[in-house]
């Protein structure tokens, strides 16, 4: 660890090789037998070591210091899990159903993605879309406003919607994948 503190990457690699498997086993046992969570915690722990090697005191032994950090990370995970459970219990007591909350969050994520996509459009197309679907202005009036044939307005709106549908489908798939 002393060599790691002075920037020796080989020394860090040696520490990783020596302790990563043992730490994963420790995290796996401590964190609900979740293998991917254990991997994440190993990664986070070694990231902390790389980011702040100066926290290691040279008069201390490395292994106890390392496992003390791991233990503290587990304690923080327990506190977080305990808080989440308490929060969910409070919601249940208030009669709030989780699917409603999940749906609301999902809709907020979708709306955010749509607004991001709209921001990427040029000003005329963004304005055309918002005037049609937010302000309910008829296509005939939009054609007059933009000095375009009605067919062109319809075509542009079609392509904008097609693009947005693709974005929302990708987002829905990510949301559904995250909920599994």
pLDDT digits (tens, 9 = 90+) for 37-72: 899 999 999 888 888 878 778 888 888 888 888 998
Query: For the domain that residue 136 is a member of, what is the CATH number?
Result: 1.10.10.10
| pLDDT at 100 > cutoff 50 | no
**Which is more confident, 65 or 90?**
65
Q: Within a 10 A sphere around the Cβ of 19, how many other Cβ atoms?
A: 20
> Largest alpha-carbon pair distance within the chain?
80
Domain boundaries, position 103 = 98-179
Query: For the domain that residue 20 is a member of, what is the CATH number?
Result: 1.10.1740.10
Q: Please, what is the angle between helix 98-120 and helix 123-133, to 10°?
A: 140
Q: Are 142 and 132 in contact (CB under 8 A)?
A: yes
Overall number of domains in the chain:
2
- Scanning the structure block, which residue is given the tokens 């907020």? 108
Does 110 share its domain with 152?
yes
Does 7 share its domain with 65?
yes
Does 74 share its domain with 123?
no
Confidence category of residue 90, pLDDT binned at 50, 70, 90:
confident
| pLDDT at 14 > cutoff 50 | yes
Does 7 share its domain with 89?
yes
Angle at 117 between CA 114 and CA 118, to 5 degrees: 85
The number of angstroms, rounded, from the C-alpha of 23 to the middle of its chain's C-alpha atoms is: 25
Q: Where does a domain end: 39, 64, 93? A: 93
33-37, 152-156, 164-168: range with lowest mean pLDDT: 164-168
> What global pTM score does this model have?
0.47
| pLDDT at 167 > cutoff 60 | yes
Q: Within a 10 A sphere around the Cβ of 132, how many other Cβ atoms?
A: 20
Mean predicted confidence (pLDDT) in 24-30: 90
């Amino acid at each position: 660890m002393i060599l790691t503190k002075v920037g020796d990457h080989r020394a860090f690699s040696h520490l990783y090789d020596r302790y990563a498997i043992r730490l994963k086993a420790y995290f796996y046992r401590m964190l609900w037998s979740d293998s991917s969570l254990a991997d994440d915690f190993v990664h986070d722990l070694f990231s902390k070591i790389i980011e702040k090697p100066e926290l290691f005191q040279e008069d201390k032994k490395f292994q106890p210091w390392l496992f003390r950090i791991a233990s503290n990370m587990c304690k923080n995970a327990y506190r977080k899990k305990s808080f989440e459970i308490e929060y969910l219990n409070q919601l249940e007591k208030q009669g709030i159903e989780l699917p409603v909350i999940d749906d609301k969050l999902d809709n907020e994520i979708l709306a955010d993605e749509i607004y991001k996509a709209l921001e990427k459009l040029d000003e005329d197309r963004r304005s055309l879309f918002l005037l049609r679907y937010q302000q309910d202005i008829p296509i005939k009036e939009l054609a007059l406003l933009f000095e375009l044939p009605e067919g062109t307005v319809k075509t542009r709106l079609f392509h904008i919607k097609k693009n947005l549908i693709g974005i929302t489908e990708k987002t829905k798939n990510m949301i559904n994948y995250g909920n599994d």
